[in-house]
Amino acid sequence: MSTRLATGGRLLSKDKALSFTFNGRRLRGFSGDTLASALLANDQMLVGRSFKYHRPRGIVASGAEEPNGLVNMGEGGRFEPNQRITTTELFDGLTATSQNHWPSLDFDVGAINSKLARFLPAGFYYKMFIHPRPLWKHVYEPIIRRSAGLGRAPTAPDADTYEHFHAFCDVLVIGGGVAGLQAAKAAARSGARVLVLEQTPHWGGRAPVDGGTVDGKPVDKFVEELVSELADMPNVTLRNRTMGAGVYDHGYVLGYEQLGDHAPEKPGPRHRLWRIRAGHVLTATGAIERPLPFAGNDVPGVMLASAVRDYVVNYGVSPGDRTVVVTNNDNAYLTAIALKYAGLSVPAILDARVLPTDSPAMEQAKALGIRVLMGHAVSSVKGGKRVTGVAVCSQSGEGAVLEEIACDVVAMSGGWSPVVHLWSHCGGKLLWDETQAHFRPDVDKAPIGADGHGFVTPAGCANGVMQLDAILADAVQAGEIACAAAGFRARHSDAPTAEPSGETPMTPVWMMPQGAGIKLRSKAWLDYQNDVKVSDVQLAAQEGFESVEHAKRYTTLGMATDQGKLSNINGLATLAAARNVAIPQVGTTTFRPPYTPISMGAIGGEARGDVFQPLRRTPMHDWHAANGAEWEPVGHWRRPYAYRRSGESTHEAVMREVRNTRDKLGLLDASTLGKIVVKGPDAPRFLDMLYTNMMSTLKPGKCRYGLMCSENGFLIDDGVVARIDDDTFLCHTTTGGAERIHQHMEEWLQTEWWDWKVHVANVTEQYAQIAVVGPNARTALERLGGMDVGKDALGFMDWAEGTLGGFAVRVYRISFSGELSYEIAVDASHGQAFWDALMVVGADLGAMPYGTECLHILRAEKGFIMIGDETDGTVIPQDLGLDWAISKKKEDYLGKRAQARSHMADPTRWKLVGLETEDGSVLPDGAYAVAAGENANGQRNTQGRVTSTYHSPTLDRGIAMGLVLHGPDRMGEVLEFPRLDGTTVKAKIVSPVFYDPQGEKQNV
Q: Which of residues 832-871 bind other proteins (CB under 8 A)?
A: 832-834
User: Is residue 182 within 8 Å of 476, Cβ to Cβ?
Assistant: yes
Given 680, 701, 846, 924, the residue binding other proteins (CB under 8 A): 680
**Taking CB under 8 A as the rule, which mask of x and - marks residues 153-172 in contact with other proteins?**
--------x-xxxxxx----
Omega into 597 within 30° of 0, i.e. cis? no
Shortest reach from residue 727's CB to other proteins, in Å: 9
Handedness of CA 624, 626, 629, 635 (dihedral sign): positive
Please give the radius of gyration of the chain, using alpha carbons only, rounded to the nearest integer: 38
Pick the closer one to other proteins by CB: 355 or 448: 448
Residues 177-216 that bind other proteins (CB under 8 A): 193
Residues 870-929 that bind other proteins (CB under 8 A): 891-892, 896-898, 900-901
Shortest reach from residue 590's CB to other proteins, in Å: 16
Shortest reach from residue 484's CB to other proteins, in Å: 19
Pick the closer one to other proteins by CB: 125 or 248: 248
**Residue 413 DSSP SS3:** strand
Q: How far is CA 686 from CA 599, 680, 727, 729, 757, in A?
A: 50, 9, 11, 11, 9
Shortest reach from residue 897's CB to other proteins, in Å: 5
Given 808, 845, 885, 974, the residue binding other proteins (CB under 8 A): 808
Q: What is the dihedral of CA 208, 211, 215, 217, to 10 degrees?
A: 80
Shortest reach from residue 891's CB to other proteins, in Å: 6
Given 76, 93, 268, 487, the residue binding other proteins (CB under 8 A): 268
Residue closest to 514 by CA, chosen among 354, 390, 389: 354
Backbone angles phi, psi at 990, to 5 degrees: -135, 180
Shortest reach from residue 671's CB to other proteins, in Å: 8
Given 828, 840, 885, 904, the residue binding other proteins (CB under 8 A): 828
Shortest reach from residue 425's CB to other proteins, in Å: 13
Shortest reach from residue 163's CB to other proteins, in Å: 5
DSSP H helices, 664-774, are 683-690, 738-751
Pick the closer one to other proteins by CB: 808 or 845: 808
Handedness of CA 424, 427, 432, 433 (dihedral sign): negative
Shortest reach from residue 710's CB to other proteins, in Å: 10
Given 140, 252, 631, 796, the residue binding other proteins (CB under 8 A): 252
Q: How many residues bind other proteins (CB under 8 A)?
A: 77
Pick the closer one to other proteins by CB: 679 or 957: 679
Helix (H) or strand (E) holding 978: strand 974-978
Backbone angles phi, psi at 599, to 5 degrees: -75, 145
Residues 341-380 that bind other proteins (CB under 8 A): none
Three-state secondary structure readout of 37-51: HHHHHCCCCEEEECC
Residues 432-451 that bind other proteins (CB under 8 A): 448-451
Shortest reach from residue 688's CB to other proteins, in Å: 13
Piece of the chain touching other proteins by CB under 8 A; list 133-141, 584-592, 775-783, 804-812: 804-812
Shortest reach from residue 624's CB to other proteins, in Å: 13
Spatial distance between the Cα atoms of 741 and 148, rounded to a whole number of angstroms: 52
Shortest reach from residue 418's CB to other proteins, in Å: 24
Residues 659-678 that bind other proteins (CB under 8 A): 677
Residue closest to 178 by CA, chosen among 45, 284, 292, 312: 284
DSSP H helices, 67-165, are 112-115, 124-128, 133-135, 141-147
Pick the closer one to other proteins by CB: 680 or 868: 680
Residues 697-736 that bind other proteins (CB under 8 A): 711-712
Half-sphere exposure at residue 624, Cβ-oriented, CA atoms within 13 angstroms: 25
Pick the closer one to other proteins by CB: 250 or 519: 250
Pick the closer one to other proteins by CB: 700 or 806: 806
Pick the closer one to other proteins by CB: 610 or 981: 610
**Taking CB under 8 A as the rule, which mask of x and - marks residues 761-790 in contact with other proteins?**
x-xxxxx-----------------------
**269 contributes a contact to other proteins by CB under 8 A:** yes
Pick the closer one to other proteins by CB: 550 or 757: 757
**Residue 580 DSSP SS3:** coil
Residues contacting residue 440 through CB under 8 Å, at least 6 positions apart:
418, 420, 430, 431, 433, 458, 463, 464
DSSP H helices, 649-776, are 650-663, 683-690, 738-751
Spatial distance between the Cα atoms of 419 and 244, rounded to a whole number of angstroms: 12
Shortest reach from residue 602's CB to other proteins, in Å: 13
Q: DSSP labels for 421-455?
A: HHHHHTT--EEEETTTTEEEE-TTSPPB-TTSSB-
Q: Which amino acid is at 284?
A: A
Piece of the chain touching other proteins by CB under 8 A; list 269-277, 700-708, 976-984, 995-1003: 269-277
Pick the closer one to other proteins by CB: 203 or 637: 637
Shortest reach from residue 431's CB to other proteins, in Å: 19
Residues 80-139 that bind other proteins (CB under 8 A): none
Pick the closer one to other proteins by CB: 179 or 894: 894
Pick the closer one to other proteins by CB: 617 or 945: 617
Pick the closer one to other proteins by CB: 752 or 788: 752
Shortest reach from residue 266's CB to other proteins, in Å: 6
Pick the closer one to other proteins by CB: 763 or 931: 763
**Taking CB under 8 A as the rule, which mask of x and - marks residues 611-640 in contact with other proteins?**
x-xxxxxxx-----------------x---
Pick the closer one to other proteins by CB: 75 or 451: 451
Residues 479-518 that bind other proteins (CB under 8 A): none
Shortest reach from residue 715's CB to other proteins, in Å: 16
**Taking CB under 8 A as the rule, which mask of x and - marks residues 276-305 in contact with other proteins?**
-x----------------------------
Spatial distance between the Cα atoms of 330 and 365, rounded to a whole number of angstroms: 10
Omega into 132 within 30° of 0, i.e. cis? yes
Residues 587-616 that bind other proteins (CB under 8 A): 605-607, 610-611, 613-616
Residues 218-247 that bind other proteins (CB under 8 A): 237
Shortest reach from residue 812's CB to other proteins, in Å: 17
**Taking CB under 8 A as the rule, which mask of x and - marks residues 737-766 in contact with other proteins?**
------x--xx--xxx-x--x-x-x-xxxx
Spatial distance between the Cα atoms of 308 and 323, rounded to a whole number of angstroms: 9
Helix (H) or strand (E) holding 838: helix 831-842
DSSP H helices, 98-140, are 112-115, 124-128, 133-135
Pick the closer one to other proteins by CB: 385 or 616: 616
DSSP H helices, 612-752, are 621-626, 650-663, 683-690, 738-751
How far, in whole angstroms, is CA 777 from its chain's centroid? 51
Shortest reach from residue 50's CB to other proteins, in Å: 38
β-bridge partners, 799: 812
Helix (H) or strand (E) holding 640: strand 637-643
Q: How far is CA 738 from CA 14, 668, 674, 711, in A?
A: 65, 18, 4, 19
What is the 8-class DSSP label of residue 401? -
